[in-house]
Each structure stands twice: as C-alpha cells, then as structure tokens.
Structure 1
Amino acid sequence: MKKRPIIGITMGDPAGNGAEITVKALSDPAVYEKCRPVVIGDAGCMEQAVSLVNKSSHIKIHPIKEVKDACFEPGIIDVYDMGLVDMQRHVYGKLSKMCGEAAFQYVVKVIELALKGEIDATVTNAINKEAINMAGHHYSGHTEIYADYTHTDKYTMMLAHEELRVVHVSTHVSLRQACDRVKKDRVLEVIRIANDACKAIGITEPKIGVAGLNPHCGENGMFGVEEIEEIQPAIDAAMEEGICIPEKKPTPPDSIFSKALGGWYDIVVAMYHDQGHIPLKVKGFVYNKSLKKWDAVAGVNVTLGIPVIRVSVDHGTGFDLAGTGESSEVSLVNSIDYAIRLAVNRN
C-alpha cells in the first residue's frame, strides 16, 4: 500500500467547477486503491462542493497543513488547506482577483511539494487566465507557470485521449507567431520530448508522426517552404539519433490524425496549438444535442520536459455550470489515471 503514489490535485479557480469535479472523482473508492490523493485548495470550498454533489453526501473533508497528516482513506478527502478564499465573498461563475490569487497559489504550492518530494505527481484543475492576471500574475497558462517555477527552458504540452497523443511545437501564441516558431531546433527538441514521453508511459519503441505546417506539406514549396527548410532537417536529425519516424518525412496535417487513430503512430508532433487541440477535442468532447448537454469532456494535458509530473484536465473552469453540481469529472479521472501511470513508470 505504501507504493501507491501520492497525487497532489489542485482545486483550480474557486469560482469554477474544479472543487465539484474533484469531489465526484474522489468519491470513487477505486481511486484510493491506485493512489493516495491530496487536494491543494480551500477546505471551505470543498465542503461547499460536497453539499452540491448529492451522491457524495457521505464524503468528509479533512483539512490538513502537512501532507504527512493526510488519511488517504476512501470517504475522506484530504485537503491541504490554503485558507485563501473568503466564503462570504465567494461567487460561482464570476471573475475575481481573490479567486485568481487563490488558484495561482494552489499551483505554486503543488509544484513546491513535488519538487520537495512530498508528492509523486501533480494534477491540475482549470484556472482562469484572466483571473490570475487580475491578481498580478502574468502567465498565459499552467504550462508557463510550471516552467517558470521549475526553472525549465525546454518544455512542451502533450494532449492525450485514449491512444491519441499530440505534442506541440508552439502553444499559447498567435497563429502568425506560431508559424515563425517552426524552426529546425525547436521541432527536433519536441520530437525528442515526444519520444521520451512515450517511453515514460511504457511504450518501449515509440513511433512518431510529424505534421507539416502548410496544406499538403507545402507541395514541394508551392504553398510554403517550412517543410523543406525546417521540418525535414529536424526529422533527419532525429532519425540519425535512432528515433522512429515511420514515414521519414512530414505528414500532411489533414491526414496525420486519422493515421494516428489507425495505429500508425504512438504520438503526433503538431506544429501549433489548434492543429493539435482540434482533433483531440473532436474525439474527446461529445455533446448530446437531443439532451443539450455534454456526454463527455475527456482528455488530458501533460506538461513534458519539466522535472515534476504534471497532468491537467483538458477543459476550462466551466463557469457556466459551476455551482450546479452537473459538471463532468471524466477528464479529471483520466488525468489522475495518467498521473498514476507516469509516477509508477518513473518510480
């Protein structure tokens, strides 16, 4: 039992749905058979979330100030209580400096605990970028916070849903900037990170697909030369290092994900944010138009290249549903499972 990894889960923006979906996810006793979860957040918010999720009325919140004081028992949610939210001022679904500050500090604390070795992996609920900026913390997302606080220069984002995995050459920049960032050294760096990521989850001989940037991979320079001047040289260098890229050249973006779903690759290197995000979310986000609700909001986000394990839900704060108890916990459950897998393989 002692070998179960300790997973630190941030509560996310207190005005969002993070607390609710955390209560839902940790209501399943099976989670405790695989790991020892501890929530980094505010006990008051978690207590309120328990009352919102009717099926979880048996759940008890256990506030702690040190990880060593956690119970790690089904039916008890251990909360590393930061005490940052004034519940008298707390409002679901509303941007606030208070909630932005709290969400940011939860992330800083979970990174600190991971770097100190008190937890084995971190899982993050959604933050609101506008709220953390209101609080004076000018980051474009979790990935950049983790990179800064772990002093990491070379990192990237991986999205995963079932057997579809995608890493990105660039993420939170404009499309114009993203095109400018497709350079040989960066593409090669991300191919290496993708290869290492697959090995970290137990794929011994990863097969990597590398997307082109332009339509039809530029048609030999007719629609752009990035494939010729930047991407192909990166592929050649990676293959010289022994990395397996089955097609030995960039694959057109409009077909690479269908091939990945068909088992051609274990992971895809996308050239920019939406090139990778759109296919993942088409597969993982399922909206029921007859019931007018989401049947699934699945998928996870993993930050690669940093010295700690970080997995996140692949959705936002859900301000429109926050406080209703109706938000889906599927992405969080997937994130916890992925974090466990990474932690066990690392150990």
Structure 2
Amino acid sequence: MSAIHSHAVPAYSLAITMGDPAGIGPEIICRSLAGLTASERAAILLVGDRDTFARAAQVTDVDLSFCAVERDAEVAGCVAVAQIEMPSGDIPPGEISAAAGEAAFRCIERAVELVQDGRAGVIVTAPLNKAALHAAERYYDGHTGMLASLTGAPSSFMLLASEQLSTIHVSTHVSLRDAIDRVTVERVTATVAAGYDHLRRLGIEAPRIAVAGLNPHCGEGGIFGDEDDRVIAPAVMQLQKRGWEVQGPISADTVFYRASRGEFDLVVAQYHDQGHIPVKLIAFDTTVNVSLGLPIQRTSVDHGTAFDIAWQGRADATNMRAAIDHAWRLVRNHG
C-alpha cells in the first residue's frame, strides 16, 4: 500500500478507523458523528475511504460531508478523512472478502502511523472480521494482537470497561487449556499493573482492584487445584507491597457481583470467558474494549461486523458512542 504522509496535517484528538467496509463500521461511525457537536467532529480524524463513509451517511440518513486531510481539510463543517488506498477486488456488503480484510488492516496500520507521528491521540476502532483478515493473509487474532505487532509491543492486555463493571484479562484468545498455563506470577502482576495505570490515567487516584481466582472457590486449599495458592496469592502480595489496594484471589462466583455493587473499580479475570460473560451480561450495549500495554491508546466497540444487518441502515451506534466517550476521557485526563 502507499501510505500518505503530510506534516501539514493538524493534530486530532481521536483517529477512528473504518473497520471492515462490508460490515456495520461505517454506519455506526456516521451515526455517532451525527450526534456530536461541530467542534467535537473537528477534533476527529477518520481513517478509511471517503466514498465508503459518504455511502454510509446516505444509508443512515445523516447530514455529513467528508474531506481529505491532504487536500481540503480547511473546508468548514466537513469531517476529515485520512484516505487509505483501497485494495482491488469487490467488497460485497455483508460478506467476507479478502479485499475488505485488507482494507481493515490498512486502516489500523495508517492509524498507528498517525499516532506515532503525533498527528492523532487515541485510536477508536470499528469492528473487523477475523475471517476476512485471514483471507487477506493478515494472520492476527484481532485488533489487539495486530496493534501489538504494529507497535512492537512485547505483550498487551484486553480491558472491558463499563460504568457498572470493568474487567481486565490475564489471557484472551487462547484455548482454556492454554489459558491455565498462562496464569503465572509475572503475567498476573503485569495485568494488574496495566489496569492500575489505566485507571490512574482516567483520574482514579487509588484504584481498588480485585483479582479473581482461577479454580472453583479458589481451589479450596488445593482440593480443586493449587494455582490460586501457588501463583495468584503471591502475585497479589507483591502488589500489596507497592501500597496498592489489591485483593485476591477472590472466588469468581462472587467477585463480579461485589464489583458490580461498587466495591472494586476493576476485576482481573484469569481467562477470556471468565471476564467477558459477566461484563456483557450487565452492559452488553455499552461495554468498551480497551487495549492496554501498548505504546498507543486504543478503545473499540465490543461487538462484531454484524454482516446480517450491514448496509441496511439498521445498525445501532450505542456501543460506538461509548467507545468514543471513553476515548474522550483518556484525552481529557491524559492529553
């Protein structure tokens, strides 16, 4: 692909990527932008294809115009777009295609460049499709792994944030068997530290963090497994010595309820479903996916491309608005 570089481009607070153009990403972006003020839209840079955004605005019946930052960013009232070079090949709406997967990858690649060059602050991502990504021979497990690779980060963490319950994961897109092996003192400690730093970035001075146990009832003293006593408890003790308010391991069948009632600011889940199920049960439409441990900041919707309703004007933008709101919080509190 040919990347566009222009040092005359002004700095934007948010860079919002198009996602898979065959999915609902362009639609929910347009719907979200329509609900913002003119000054808020002026601080946003879209990363993707202008024509695709223009079609999405028509489908969603919103009054938006889009301009290329390289040429006519000074046009009053238009939404700035960092244009990617669209790949050749058809992109049928609502279908998996290599061209769509490649377009989604190029959006992320360009957004990372913009942030690293100091031209954008926080990345907000619309959904991509992993099968389309792999069809394009971009073999990533999703946004988080892709961003880690593009930025050279040795590891990354997934945090699901909502007003009532937030959780960060020791492991995510691996089998349950592999997830158990990833519960180490080092990884648990690093996961808590990533969550702690993020909460501080959001303005919480003394974050209250609970670490969920791995085994039923935290192993019941080794009856159901020894990982809680052998690995998780020592990790928590190390963190407590830093003066942090960290508790655990706490049985997973009670810790999420306690956190949802306001006792903790964050729960550390030991594997993907342990954290995803309670958060999505409580706040399915408003949960925001946040990537931590990277040299850049990124928020995202916590849903997929919804091919079954794509390009029909039916997509709900609630989750995208929540992702944008969380990104604004990061900008306001951390610059």
TM-score in same-fold range (> 0.5): yes
Cα distance in 2 for residues equivalent to 1:217 and 1:34? 48
- The letter of the residue matching 1:304 is L
- The letter of the residue matching 1:133 is H
Cα distance in 1 for residues equivalent to 2:331 and 2:275? 25
The one-character-per-residue Cα deviations of 1:135-170 (angstroms, maximum 9, x if unpaired) are 111110110111111111132111011142110000
Q: CA RMSD in A?
A: 1.9
Cα distance in 2 for residues equivalent to 1:149 and 1:207? 32
2:15 pairs with 4, 8, 19, which one?
Answer: 8
The count of aligned residue pairs is: 326
**TM-score calculated relative to the size of structure 2:** 0.93
Distance 1:173 1:28, change over 3 A: same
Deviation of residue 42 (structure 1)? 0.7
Whether contact under 8 Å (2:18, 2:25) holds in the other structure is: yes
1:335 has 2:334 as partner: no
Deviation of residue 5 (structure 1)? 5.4
Unaligned 5+ runs, structure 2: 1-9
Unaligned 5+ runs, structure 1: 286-296
Whether contact under 8 Å (1:5, 1:340) holds in the other structure is: no
**Structure 1 segments (4+ residues) deviating >4 Å:** 71-74
1:157 has 2:158 as partner: yes
Q: In the alignment, which residue of structure 2 is the partner of 1:37?
A: 44
Identity, % of aligned pairs?
39
What SS is found at the alignment partner of 1:311?
A: strand
Deviation of residue 93 (structure 1)? 0.9
Whether contact under 8 Å (1:38, 1:70) holds in the other structure is: no
Q: In the alignment, which residue of structure 1 is the partner of 2:172?
A: 171
Distance 1:28 1:272, change over 3 A: same
1:116 has 2:104 as partner: no
Cα distance in 1 for residues equivalent to 2:305 and 2:75? 26
- The letter of the residue matching 1:265 is F
The farther-off stretch of 212-221 and 32-41 is 32-41
Cα distance in 1 for residues equivalent to 2:170 and 2:66? 41
Note the 1:1-347 alignment, pairs <5 A: 6-30=13-37, 32-33=39-40, 36-54=43-61, 56=62, 58-65=63-70, 70-71=73-74, 76-84=78-86, 89-245=90-246, 248-285=247-284, 297-347=285-335
Cα distance in 1 for residues equivalent to 2:91 and 2:40? 34
The one-character-per-residue Cα deviations of 1:210-266 (angstroms, maximum 9, x if unpaired) are 000111111111111110110000000000111111xx4311111111111111111
- The letter of the residue matching 2:58 is S
Cα distance in 1 for residues equivalent to 2:257 and 2:39? 36
What SS is found at the alignment partner of 1:126?
A: coil
Cα distance in 2 for residues equivalent to 1:4 and 1:97? 32
Q: In the alignment, which residue of structure 2 is the partner of 1:290?
A: none
Cα distance in 1 for residues equivalent to 2:146 and 2:245? 32
